[in-house]
Amino acid sequence: MRTLTNIKAPEAAPSVSHESSEARKEQTGRNKGDGPLARDTTTVHRQSATGGSSTHARAHESAIKHVTGRAAYIDDIPAPSDVLHIALGLSPVAHGRLTRLDLEKVKRAPGVVDVITIVDVPGHTDIGPVFPGDPIFVDDEISYVGQTLFAVAATSYKAARLAVKEAVIEIDERPASLDPVTATERGEFVRPTHTHQSGDWQQALESSAHVLEGEQFVGGQEHFYLEGQACLVLPTEDEGVMVYTSNQHPSETQKLVAEVLDIPFHAVTMEMRRMGGGFGGKETQASPWACIAAIIARRTGRAAKLRLPRAEDTRATGKRHPFNNRYRLGFDDQGVLTGGDITVIGDCGYSPDLSDAVVDRAMFHADNAYSLGQARVTGHRAKTNTASNTAFRGFGGPQGMMIIEAAMDDIARHLGEDPLTVRKRNLYRLGRDVTHYGQRVEQITLLHDIVEQLEASSDYWSRRKAIAEFNAKSPIIKKGLALTPVKFGISFTVQHLNQAGALLLVYTDGSVSINHGGTEMGQGLHTKVCQVVARELGLDLEQVRITATRTDKVPNTSPTAASSGADLNGQAARDAASKLRERLFDFAAQHFDQELGGLDREGMRLEGGELIAGVGESERRIPWGELIQKAYLARVSLSEKGFYATPLIHYDRDAAKGRPFYYYAHGAAVAEVEVDTLSGEYRLSRADILHDVGDSLNPAIDIGQIEGAFIQGMGWLTSEELKWNEQGRLISDGPATYKIPAFGDLPPVFNVDLLQGHPNSQASIYRSKAVGEPPFMLGISVWSALRDALASLVDYRHCPRLDTPATPERVLMAAEALRNATLVKAAQPETSDDPA
């Protein structure tokens, strides 16, 4: 018996000469093959009594390939030797009309084979993913710095890039609109404003004992996937193309490529093995490059590769939406919210892209874990002259949560309470368990449990005391502490996306291949799906292999986004596997032990690489390989497709009410920081996290997601600063100027635990919970801790405004403002900032 990965050559001939003629015949059969049936079948190696390899902390399916450099990404795929390399001509200005585009010198540059603009597009020229508004190339209206004007294909990457510089571009420049608040005042939106309302928020404000208001700017975030946007397109023998792309949404790109080429969808095949990171940045924004490369490939009949250099990638593609948020909230003497008004303005950039749903999600999370009371939440989608902002882990949720977390801190300072006390009092609880959009929060005690457990395990209160003592004695270095919770809604808020398909293939050696619509970007989705199939079929993980995501295997898929990858595709794979399993049971029940009246269909199971029927004396075990081969010979189909659609969810946009989320995932984090209030430098010295993943599908992967998301969330709120100059050009356009967390930003003490004993109350895949996005927002604790440290400068009487990212510059400026205010205040009588 052989293993899948290690195919041994047949035994050498001499040993055969000693064998009987029967054996010799068998050996010949082995070598030459005798029909479609496999000569050997796969074996189960690691016996696990429960077939429970699915719950193990298994390594990433590609781990060994990653560490040996054998894992191939787009630019690593061997391309035909005549492959063309594409470079793009991007707009140098943010707003204006293209009055002249002279590409004669570009065409004559060394190595150039083709140059295309909007007029060369055979089909659709608008490649807006959901709503129109994204031209593949500029026609005449220019909307941002980095917008694509033309493309050059040349024999080398360098030749193409050099040729671009030869273009003569004339633009009638207009003033660029770069401020979303001004845009909102002028009513310049990419999509209409939407409002949630629960109860009479005005009346609540009027009758509240206290009212506070506040404002904040929450910066955007560059995805900084380590592998930049890339694709390779090969023309196929009919009118179609084969597209290899680093892409979270192959089906959408397939559609767009087909429409741009004006060919049927079935002529376009996408293949996506793995991405070097996506984080939302390759959900809609991987498509333009595939469309452009496809046009070149069809025009030239040659393979075409498009890979964006880092700076161009950063300028041309959208980011996490920056938000300007405002709150005006009423609360009682305990700090419990009575109601009020929250406004969030998403800076959407120049076109809708996914902004409708992103701002919706910000609105859905403006409550985070707290009941707002009688509240109105308004979300604007401001249009500005920047790249079209897009999906990014959390999808607006984090930006929405920031406003209520700011309010929690502010309320606590106002009342002289610890922020944790105020947060706990506001958590959803019985009687206050319906969100401002009408969804009831199930598992209502879960977040209370998390917060209490974490409070204890992190020693919150004794550290709070120690910090207060330290700060009292330390005029410059200040410590800060904060605990922030997360409640994050799981499901696409666009209902039809909540579906998934899978294709399960079993071959006659017993090896299993599973395909599904999800894409692997490092999150471990493929590992989890393999674990699901292995568990359903009672096999080893090694016997199940996943192959690249392909639109010709599973069609019409949803993006791998909204943390839904494992929830949806895991269920679809499970559906396929359980259907096949039932078919095999039906077959086995009739086929084996016929003379004894067949096997007992009841209680039949697949476990440890065997089919097991009956119990005790009459137990019968049939190895998986034998079962499969017998089934094949008996002409039983060994492939199956699976499908899943999430139940229960609905949202009525007109009423702004519904149950947009199948369930919520929860977590909480405690962060401790040290701040140098003279320089603004700071450091995260400790983080403690407790996070809810239901019954984990793979604890190692889940912990990896939580840690990675936390650090990424911290980066968003601290060092990652997007800066545009006054002309609207992004000047932090690469890792030299845009600083994501590095190795030394990892806190010296980092305790991360999964909440135990709380399976999902909904029937999700094995009662697990989605984990991709929710922990991102645990990073908010770092920001809140920074505010806590700063508040110590004024004896915790006031919480300074701290826009994000809270760079050392912003922290220093906030500290200076507090110090200056104290100086001024010392000369003036106390005033109340309570307008009530």
Partner 1 sequence: MIDFYLNGQRQQHADVTPDTSVLELLRTRLGQTGTKEGCASGDCGACTVSIGEPDGRGGLSYHSANACITPAHQLNGCHLVTVEGLSRGDALHPVQAAMVDCHGSQCGFCTPGIIMSLFTLHEQQRRRPAPLTQQRMEAALGGNLCRCTGYRPIRDAALRMNEYPDTHPLWADDPDLAGNVATLHTDATKAKPSAGATSQGRFDSPRDLATLRELRRERPQSRLVAGATDLWLESTQQLKILDDIINVRQVAELNTLEETPEGWWVGAAVTYSRLEPLFAEHYPAFEHLMHRFASSQVRNRATLGGNVANASPIGDTPPVLLALDARLALDGPEGAREIPIAEFFLDYKKTALREGEFIRAIFLPRPNADHNLKVWKLSKRREDDISAVLAAFAWRWDNGVMRDVHLAFGGMAGIPKRAPTAEAALEGQAPSQAVFEAAKAALRGEFQPMTDVRGTKEYRSIAAANLLERLRLMLASTSKDSDKKDAEVCLDAYAH
- Catalytically active residues are 773
Write out the binding residues for partner 1, residues 244-283 only, by CB under 8 A: 274-279
Q: How far is the CB of 161 from ligand FES (least distance, A)?
A: 16
Q: How far is the CB of 226 from ligand FES (least distance, A)?
A: 4
Q: Report the alpha-carbon distance of residue 218 to residue 280 in Å, rounded.
A: 18
Region from 37-45, 47-55, 303-311, 611-619 binding partner 1, contact rule CB under 8 A = 303-311
Alpha carbon distances (Å) from 227 to 75, 198, 247, 464, 833: 9, 44, 11, 42, 49
Select the residue whose beta carbon is closest to ligand FES and give its number: 226
Region from 75-83, 332-340, 352-360, 616-624 binding partner 1, contact rule CB under 8 A = 75-83
Q: How far is the CB of 776 from ligand FES (least distance, A)?
A: 15
Closest to ligand FES by CB, 71 or 209 = 71
Residues 502 and 517 sit within 8 Å (Cβ to Cβ) = yes
Closest to partner 1 by CB, 12 or 67 = 67
Half-sphere exposure of 231 (CA within 13 A, CB side): 32
Closest to ligand FES by CB, 615 or 736 = 736
Closest to partner 1 by CB, 135 or 741 = 741
- Binding residue for partner 1, selected from 1, 23, 37, 63, defined by CB under 8 A: 63
DSSP 74-105: GGGS---TT-EEEEEEE-SSSSEEEEEEE-HH
- Binding residue for ligand FES, selected from 1, 63, 226, 633, defined by CB under 6 A: 226
Is 78 a binding residue for partner 1 by CB under 8 A? The answer is yes
- How many residues are there in the chain? 836
Residues 256 and 284 sit within 8 Å (Cβ to Cβ) = no
Residue 224 interacts with, from partner 1, ligand FES, none (CB under 5-8 Å by kind): partner 1
Give the helix, strand, coil percentages of the chain, each rounded to 5. 35, 25, 40
Q: How far is the CB of 449 from partner 1 (least distance, A)?
A: 25
The helix/strand/coil state of 330 is strand
Residue 275 interacts with, from ligand FES, partner 1, none (CB under 5-8 Å by kind): partner 1
Alpha carbon distances (Å) from 321 to 198, 290, 311, 600: 26, 24, 19, 59
How many residues in the shown chain lie near ligand FES by CB under 6 A?
A: 3
Residue 734 interacts with, from ligand FES, partner 1, none (CB under 5-8 Å by kind): partner 1
Q: How far is the CB of 666 from partner 1 (least distance, A)?
A: 20
Q: How far is the CB of 721 from ligand FES (least distance, A)?
A: 20
Write out the binding residues for partner 1, residues 791-820 only, by CB under 8 A: 807-809, 812-813, 816
Q: How far is the CB of 522 from ligand FES (least distance, A)?
A: 5
Region from 88-96, 169-177, 662-670, 745-753 binding partner 1, contact rule CB under 8 A = 745-753
Is 821 a binding residue for partner 1 by CB under 8 A? The answer is no
Q: How far is the CB of 682 from partner 1 (least distance, A)?
A: 7
Closest to ligand FES by CB, 222 or 252 = 222
How many residues in the shown chain lie near partner 1 by CB under 8 A?
A: 89
Region from 23-31, 282-290, 304-312, 339-347 binding partner 1, contact rule CB under 8 A = 304-312
Is 522 a binding residue for ligand FES by CB under 6 A? The answer is yes
Residue 570 corresponds to which tokens in the numbers above? Answer: 């895991």
Q: Report the alpha-carbon distance of residue 368 to residue 489 in Å, rounded.
A: 10
- Binding residue for partner 1, selected from 208, 253, 386, 712, defined by CB under 8 A: 712
Is 277 a binding residue for ligand FES by CB under 6 A? The answer is yes
Q: How far is the CB of 229 from ligand FES (least distance, A)?
A: 15
Q: Which of 233, 383, 390 is nearest to 317 (CA)?
A: 390
Is 311 a binding residue for partner 1 by CB under 8 A? The answer is yes
**Omega cis (within 30) before 805:** yes
Residues 6+ apart with CB under 8 A from 260: 121, 122, 123, 124, 125, 127, 136, 291, 294, 295
Alpha carbon distances (Å) from 52 to 55, 196, 604: 6, 44, 17
Indicate the burial class of 297 (C-beta count within 10 angstroms; 0-12, 13-18, 19 or more).
Answer: buried
Q: Report the alpha-carbon distance of residue 588 to residue 581 in Å, rounded.
A: 10
Longest dimension (CA), the chain: 109
- Binding residue for partner 1, selected from 30, 70, 601, 605, defined by CB under 8 A: 70
Q: Report the alpha-carbon distance of residue 527 to residue 57 in Å, rounded.
A: 10
Alpha carbon distances (Å) from 635 to 44, 503, 508, 549, 631: 25, 19, 12, 28, 6
Q: How far is the CB of 735 from ligand FES (least distance, A)?
A: 7
Residues 101 and 320 sit within 8 Å (Cβ to Cβ) = no
Residue 801 corresponds to which tokens in the numbers above? Answer: 């405004």
Residue 298 interacts with, from ligand FES, partner 1, none (CB under 5-8 Å by kind): none
Q: Report the alpha-carbon distance of residue 717 to residue 218 in Å, rounded.
A: 8
Closest to partner 1 by CB, 379 or 524 = 524
Strand partners, 330: 211, 339
Q: What would the x/- binding string for ligand FES be over residues 279 to 318, using CB under 6 A?
A: ----------------------------------------
Beta-strand runs (E) in 495-635: 499-506, 512-516, 544-546, 549-550, 605-607, 610-613, 620-623
The helix/strand/coil state of 350 is coil
Residue 73 interacts with, from partner 1, ligand FES, none (CB under 5-8 Å by kind): partner 1
Closest to partner 1 by CB, 166 or 600 = 166
Is 742 a binding residue for ligand FES by CB under 6 A? The answer is no
Residue 126 corresponds to which tokens in the numbers above? Answer: 């608008």
Is 772 a binding residue for ligand FES by CB under 6 A? The answer is no
Strand partners, 148: 90
3-state SS of 251-286 is HHHHHHHHHHHCCCHHHEEEEECCCCCCCCCCCCCC
Is 466 a binding residue for ligand FES by CB under 6 A? The answer is no
- Binding residue for partner 1, selected from 700, 727, 801, 803, defined by CB under 8 A: 700
Write out the binding residues for partner 1, residues 459-478 only, by CB under 8 A: 474, 476-477
Residue 474 interacts with, from ligand FES, partner 1, none (CB under 5-8 Å by kind): partner 1
Write out the binding residues for partner 1, residues 667-686 only, by CB under 8 A: 674, 676, 678-683
Q: What are phi and psi of 186, to 5 degrees?
A: -85, 0
- Binding residue for partner 1, selected from 23, 37, 64, 472, defined by CB under 8 A: 64
**Contacts with ligand FES, residue ranges (CB under 6 A):** 226, 277, 522
